Amino acid sequence: MRLRANRTWSQQQLAIKLRVEQKEKQGLLTWERQRLLIHAAKTALAAALCWWIATRFGLHDGYWGAISAIIVLQSNFGSTISASRDRVFGTLIGALFGFSFTLFGALPWNYILAVLAAVIVCGLLGLRSSSRLAGVTITIVMLVQKTGSHWTVALDRVLEVFLGIVVALAISTLVFPDRARLRLRDGLAQEFLVLGALFEGVLQGFRGTPAGNPAELREDALARLRDNNQLLEEARNEPSGGPGWREGLGMLAQFGRSLFDALVALELAVKGSCEDGYAQQLEPAMGRLAVDIQTGFHYVAGCIYGWRFHVPPPGLHLEEDIEKLEARMAEVRHTGFQFSQAEILRAYAVQLHLKQIARLLRASRVETSRAIGEAQKQEAPPSELS
């Protein structure tokens, strides 16, 4: 079962930004509200199904299965797998330690030692997220008064948690599945568009025109970087997705971070340079490179949107633009005595950052193409954004 709409909200917004289609009127039930409603319905279904199964098969505390399903069922499949893994390890360690420490000593000292040992073991095994669940399981096994042995309580607890996890994974997979890798792909496409907007905002100040609100653009880009990093961790837990998708998504996320750092450096370089005469002599070569970089951000976003990276961008020649800018700088170098050293240094810094951004854009496309197995397809000439 899948969502009625084939494209997510972010894909629709990306299509609008790329001028693929006209913006549609959004009604009361927006995409984000649809996702919230679907997640709520899936959670309720998983909890009810766990309780019904536990009642059907005579499990003593079937509500623990429902609690486990509610806890581990996340907004996408990747995060559900991660939460399930943490809960499985926490429950197993807690059940083992809870039962073992009941064999010697008396309350409360054996209980305190069991919790202490479980938390330490989880930390040493790199399972810090499981330590709280281990402590909860120990508490149930050792402190909850029930008929039967502690071993029976521990075994029931493990079975109920496994039931909740299995049901949650089944619901996440079969009912309106939401894949972290697909959301990440949309997020990365929008990230490159936002980075392009930040680039344009930075250059507005360099050209002497009002720069709008570059701080807001920078914060927006930084927020998208953080969101995509979180989605990347969740996507790595998903078992399928096609050849090279993990490498491709990870590579794009890394290039996004590098481009953001380069844009921040460019923003620092252009401060106070709106009236620099030396930089104005570098036109039109510098302006042409800047325009093509802006186009390059949109082009790479379109490649991510379609998940096709081997097609060379028509009419975009960043390496050629860089060569022309370097030639122009060589032409005007003899006029340097007419300008202050600060102006000359700023111009050199700006052109170095522009070249770095251009080459990062080029590398983001060609390296991702290789990572996902497109190396055998058509390669662009070295002078293009390939």
> Thinking of the domain 180-371, which architecture would CATH place it in?
Up-down Bundle (1.20)
Q: What is the pLDDT of residues 112-170, one digit of tens each?
A: 888 898 888 888 888 888 888 888 888 877 787 665 566 777 777 778 888 888 888 88
The answer to whether residue 365 scores a pLDDT higher than 60 is yes
Lowest mean pLDDT among 152-156, 243-247, 378-382: 378-382
Mean per-residue pLDDT, 217-225 = 89
Q: What is the mean pLDDT of the chain?
A: 78
364 sits in which H/E element = helix 341-371
Count CB-CB contacts under 10 A for residue 221.
Answer: 24
The answer to whether residue 222 scores a pLDDT higher than 60 is yes
Whole-model pTM?
0.73
Q: What is the pLDDT of residue 130?
A: 82
Q: How many residues does the chain have?
A: 386
Contact assessment for residue 356 and residue 264, using Cβ atoms and an 8 Å cutoff: no
Contact assessment for residue 357 and residue 262, using Cβ atoms and an 8 Å cutoff: yes
Q: What is the pLDDT of residues 204-220, one digit of tens each?
A: 766 655 555 777 888 88
Question: Could you write out the DSSP letters of every residue in 217-276?
Answer: HHHHHHHHHHHHHHHHHHHTT-S--STTHHHHHHHHHHHHHHHHHHHHHHHHHTTT-TT-
Identify which of 291, 273, 285, 296 has the alpha carbon closest to the alpha carbon of residue 349: 273
Confidence of residue 360 (pLDDT cuts 50, 70, 90): very high
Identify the top-confidence range among 1-5, 58-62, 235-239, 302-306. 302-306
Q: Which sequence spans correspond to the domains of the chain?
A: 9-20+29-174, 180-371
CA 64/CA 43 separation, integer angstroms: 14
Count CB-CB contacts under 10 A for residue 311.
Answer: 17
